[in-house]
Structure formats: C-alpha cells, structure tokens
Amino acid sequence: MSNIITLTVENYETEISSGSIVIDFFANWCGPCKSFAPVFEEAAARYEGKIKFAKINVDEQRDLALKNKVMSIPTLLFFKDGEQVDRVTGVTDQATLSKKLDLIV
C-alpha cells in the first residue's frame, strides 16, 4: 500500500486539486471494504505515475465523508483536476474499476 496516500482534512484539497485521483472511503470494521482492498491495491500498482490513489477512513475523517455525501462504504470517488467525475458505491471488480480509471488518466 506504499503508493496509496491517506487523506485527511489537512491534505484533502491539495491532493484533489490537480491531476487524477481515486479515493476509497472505507472503515477497518467493514467486511466488503476488506475484500475490495486487494483490488484497489492492484489498480494502484498498475496505474502508478498516472493516477493518484488515496484512502479515507470514514471513522477518522467523518467530515470528509459528510462533505462528499458518502453514506455507504466502500465508496470510490474519481476526481480530475479538482472536479468529481464519477462515483461507485459497493465492491467493484478489477475490470469495472479499470474502465473507470481509463476515463480519468
């Protein structure tokens, strides 16, 4: 998980402001989040240098979850140059994730 950054209120705006980034909203106690983690990590390795990958723990960063209207986890938000361009709620497979990532490269 070395190339996946952790977002907080302090670095959120800076990290999403330019380029492409996908954010995984999760919680440590969430079973579906745990099952999705390897898919996210594999995508982060494949798109390294092209798209930033980040995680937000909804228990630790409640304000960011509320700001982004995250009601269920896991939720993925896709940003390009500061604008949200897509959202996926629930576990997704590698093929679906790759199609969405290809749109923001």
Domains of the chain as residue ranges with CATH: 4-97 (3.40.30.10)
Do 13 and 21 touch, CB atoms closer than 8 A?
no
Average pLDDT over residues 33-61: 97
Cα–Cα distance measured from residue 73 to residue 82, given in angstroms and rounded to the nearest whole number: 22
From 7, 22, 23, 30, active-site residue: 30
**Residue 68 falls in the annotated catalytic set:** no
Which of the residue ranges 1-5, 34-38, 70-74 would you say has the lowest mean pLDDT?
Answer: 1-5
Mean pLDDT of 19-23: 97
- pLDDT over 90 percentage in the chain: 97
- Across all residues in the chain, what is the average pLDDT? 96
In contact, 94 and 43? CB cutoff 8 Å: yes
Catalytic position from the list 7, 23, 33, 77: 33
DSSP 99: H
Helix (H, G, I), strand (E, B) or coil at 44: helix
Per-residue H/E/C for 50-90: CCEEEEEECCCCHHHHHHCCCCCCCEEEEEECCEEEEEEEC
Q: Is there a catalytic annotation at residue 30?
A: yes
pLDDT band, very low/low/confident/very high, at 42 (cuts 50, 70, 90): very high
* Torsion angle of C-alpha atoms 39, 44, 45, 46, degrees rounded to 10: 90
